[in-house]
Amino acid sequence: MALALCCATASAQTQTQAPANFEGQPVQTLTATLRGTTFSLHATDSGYIPESTDRLTFDNAGPEMEKATGDRGPRYRWGFGFALKGDAKPVRVRVEDFGKDADTLLVDDTAPVIDAGHRWSGRAATECDIVPTAPCAAWIFDKGLQTLIFRLTVDFDDGTNQVLYQGAAFNPDTMQPVWSFLGVKR
């Protein structure tokens, strides 16, 4: 059985004006610089919000979790998605974990398929075993609020591209029911 957790997006290099409110809550703009790149993340008290540009809304990023089966323990794979606006035609989609020490390429889709609902979705090529010794699972076993930043780059058929940065926050207290469901011992 798979369980998908979704976190909304944050800001874009091809930035648009953040809404004053999102789902009835005031929106804050948080600006950060990481390894020489300055970007803004938009959030409410409930977490990061979807950010839109004139061509897309990056509205899905999170771990797709799977319970243990047979001799395999619990695991996850990152999943991502965005909705297109208008007639934009992506020719390449890349998603990276924009970590504090280095970028890690998670998705490199050189032939993106857009569904009838004008959506793209993709999954990381590799899955991660949810064990304390796996570097890809460190965010699960660390204490306190964990914030990850993803970078989405979409190249379009007109030669332009858009780059969006997304924050995804995971609170270990609110995630405990998920870990219990999966059988993860923290």
Q: Report residue 2's pLDDT band, with 50, 70 and 90 as the boundaries.
A: very low
pTM of structure: 0.85
Answer for the pair 109, 102: CB distance below 8 angstroms, yes or no. no
Tell me the per-residue pLDDT of 94-125, one tens digit each, with 9 for 90 and over: 999 998 788 999 999 999 999 999 999 999 99
What is the amino acid identity at position 177? Answer: P
Answer for the pair 64, 76: CB distance below 8 angstroms, yes or no. yes
Q: Report residue 16's pLDDT band, with 50, 70 and 90 as the boundaries.
A: low
pLDDT at 163 over 90: yes
Question: DSSP characters for 88-137?
Answer: --EEEEEEEEE-SS-EEEEEEESS----TTSEEEEE-SS-EE-STT-GGG
pLDDT at 9 over 50: no
How much is the mean pLDDT over the chain? 86
DSSP state of 19: P
Grouping H, G, I as helix, E, B as strand and the rest as coil, residue 10 is coil
Tell me the per-residue pLDDT of 59-75, one tens digit each, with 9 for 90 and over: 999 999 999 888 889 99
